[in-house]
């Protein structure tokens, strides 16, 4: 196996013509960066207009270029454009076709530009658009939660810590916790847009150019606030992609926690919610089953989104300034994370809107497990002036007595309670009922329906403006 042909057969089996085919396969990005066609054409038109206005190319050539690029846009959208792996990426595919269409003027488009600043501007435009899409989807999900919260501001359910029933809360309050989480995601999207709103175009390969270009003009034409200030940073920066993946991973994590709750709540053992048929499936063998597949997939897809963040962080950590071909690996992560997140948000919004809440089951569970024990302790502090630690101890004895008698705390008689502390009066029962427990928690941000309604009003106004 010492001759060249034989060793090539050993490692190049899939690649018909040896090293050249392998190089083409590892080098080409057209199979995925074709997604950037609209941004690439937009960027090229803006660049050509600037070249004409600064006198770097003629107005006649610019017109031909713009016309050709618009034709290409139509061809791609009509599905008649022939993408070629030979031509490596979207930039070269478009430019080669432009030469077919308009001849030598096409060669002037790349003056004072490099694929390094071109790909940076294309991907930034794409990620920025996606951020606006995510913001809209988040607003939809938040609105769905606000509606459910309003409907269930006074619906009691058990609140959990350690997955153990802790204190009664309302379902509306629980929904509003998600409003807070997804609103933070929304503000992260807005912050990220703010930071990525600078144009790298005109940095050329890395050092800028000797042509009298106007980077402010192209930045403005492409909807950026301003050009990036350092040409090296312009072509080497992928923070905008990392930030997008970061906010996507955090948002996906929130969606996954919600999915997990929905999965638990919809088990027959809990029975807190029933998912609509549109977001669940039956079992092919067990007719009684209704599986929360959409929620499970949201939970599962979170791994993918987080994986993309870790993937790109790992690519970027080894990159000396400025551009290196490694950075071509940014796109699939970003595209897949975006597509996945869009789908997760849509599915979750649908699930939240459509699910049926079983208020009776929630209420029953809220009253079990001596969930109002803290209320009993608080009453002892407030009414009898006991130190909290002592109240905690007295309550512990009341819980033990209830367990002994196999009843819940509020079913103990006054005599029972007085046998533990003679100071206890009839008034104690006003706090032992879950509804009253919930109503009494009026501290700012607390679970009292009056507080929850206040928060709903505030958020409705904020979201309308967000």
> Looking at beta carbons only, is 251 or 334 nearer to ligand ARG?
334
Distance from C-alpha of 121 to C-alpha of 124, rounded to nearest angstrom: 5
Positions touching ligand ARG (CB under 6 A) are: 29, 33, 89, 115-116, 119, 327-328
SS3 355: coil
Is 308 one of the annotated active-site residues of the chain? no
Handedness of CA 226, 232, 234, 240 (dihedral sign): negative
CB of 115 to ligand ARG, least distance (A): 4
> Looking at beta carbons only, is 116 or 209 nearer to ligand ARG?
116
Q: Are 48 and 109 in contact (CB under 8 A)?
A: yes
Peptide bond into 322 cis (omega under 30): yes
Residue 290 has phi, psi (to 5 degrees) of -135, 110
> Of residues 283, 413, 430, 450, which has the active-site annotation?
283
Q: Which residues contact 324 (CB under 8 A, 6 or more apart)?
A: none
Q: Are 417 and 428 in contact (CB under 8 A)?
A: yes
CB of 129 to ligand ARG, least distance (A): 18
Distance from C-alpha of 462 to C-alpha of 92, rounded to nearest angstrom: 45
Measure the CA angle with vertex 410, ends 149 and 358; round to 5°: 30
> Looking at beta carbons only, is 34 or 392 nearer to ligand ARG?
34
CB of 119 to ligand ARG, least distance (A): 4
Q: Are 270 and 365 in contact (CB under 8 A)?
A: yes
Is 162 one of the annotated active-site residues of the chain? yes
> Looking at beta carbons only, is 277 or 326 nearer to ligand ARG?
326
CB of 89 to ligand ARG, least distance (A): 4
Distance from C-alpha of 376 to C-alpha of 450, rounded to nearest angstrom: 22
Distance from C-alpha of 347 to C-alpha of 395, rounded to nearest angstrom: 44
CB of 315 to ligand ARG, least distance (A): 11
Q: Which two tokens stand for residue 197?
A: 């709103």
> Looking at beta carbons only, is 26 or 59 nearer to ligand ARG?
26
> Looking at beta carbons only, is 306 or 328 nearer to ligand ARG?
328
Q: Which two tokens stand for residue 383?
A: 């009414």
CB of 182 to ligand ARG, least distance (A): 32
Distance from C-alpha of 90 to C-alpha of 92, rounded to nearest angstrom: 6
Which residues have a catalytic role annotated?
Answer: 162, 283
């Amino acid at each position: 196996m010492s001759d060249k042909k034989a060793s090539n057969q050993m490692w190049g089996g899939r690649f018909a013509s040896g090293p050249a085919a392998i190089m083409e396969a590892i080098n080409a990005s057209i199979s995925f960066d074709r997604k950037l066609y609209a941004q690439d054409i937009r960027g090229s038109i803006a660049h050509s207009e600037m070249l004409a206005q600064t006198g770097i190319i003629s107005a006649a050539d610019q017109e031909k270029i713009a016309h050709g690029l618009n034709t290409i846009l139509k061809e791609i959208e009509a599905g008649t454009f022939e993408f070629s792996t030979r031509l490596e990426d979207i930039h070269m595919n478009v430019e080669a076709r432009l030469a077919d269409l308009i001849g030598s003027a096409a060669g002037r488009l790349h003056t004072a530009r490099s694929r390094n600043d071109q790909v940076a501007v294309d991907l930034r435009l794409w990620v920025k658009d996606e951020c606006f899409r995510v913001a809209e989807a988040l607003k939809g999900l938040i609105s769905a939660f606000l509606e459910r919260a309003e409907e269930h501001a006074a619906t009691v359910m058990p609140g959990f810590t350690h997955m153990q029933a802790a204190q009664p809360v309302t379902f509306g309050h629980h929904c509003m916790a998600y409003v807070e989480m997804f609103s933070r995601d929304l503000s992260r999207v807005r912050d990220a847009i703010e930071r990525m709103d600078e144009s790298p175009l005109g940095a050329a390969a890395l050092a800028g150019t000797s042509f009298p270009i106007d980077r402010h003009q192209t930045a403005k034409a492409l909807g950026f606030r301003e050009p990036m200030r350092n040409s090296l940073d312009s072509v080497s920066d992928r923070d905008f992609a990392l930030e997008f993946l970061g906010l996507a991973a955090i948002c996906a994590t929130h969606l996954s926690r919600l999915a997990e709750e929905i999965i638990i709540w919809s088990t027959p053992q809990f029975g807190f919610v029933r998912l609509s048929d549109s977001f669940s499936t039956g079992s092919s063998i067990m007719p009684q089953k209704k599986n929360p597949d959409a929620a499970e997939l949201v939970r599962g897809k979170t791994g993918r989104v987080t994986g993309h963040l870790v993937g790109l962080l790992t690519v970027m950590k080894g990159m000396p300034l400025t551009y290196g071909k490694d950075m071509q690996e940014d796109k699939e992560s970003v595209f897949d994370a975006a597509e996945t997140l869009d789908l997760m948000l849509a599915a979750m919004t649908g699930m939240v809107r459509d699910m049926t809440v079983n208020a009776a089951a929630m209420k029953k569970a809220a009253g079990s497990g001596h969930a109002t024990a803290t209320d009993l302790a608080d009453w002892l502090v407030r009414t009898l002036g006991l130190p909290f630690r002592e109240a905690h101890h007295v309550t512990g004895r009341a819980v033990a007595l209830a367990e002994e008698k196999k009843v819940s705390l509020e079913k103990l008689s006054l005599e029972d309670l007085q046998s533990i502390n003679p100071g206890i009066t009839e008034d104690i029962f006003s706090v032992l009922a879950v509804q009253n427990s919930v109503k009494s928690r009026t501290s700012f941000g607390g679970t009292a329906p009056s507080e929850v309604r206040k928060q709903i009003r505030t958020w409705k106004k904020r979201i309308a403006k967000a």
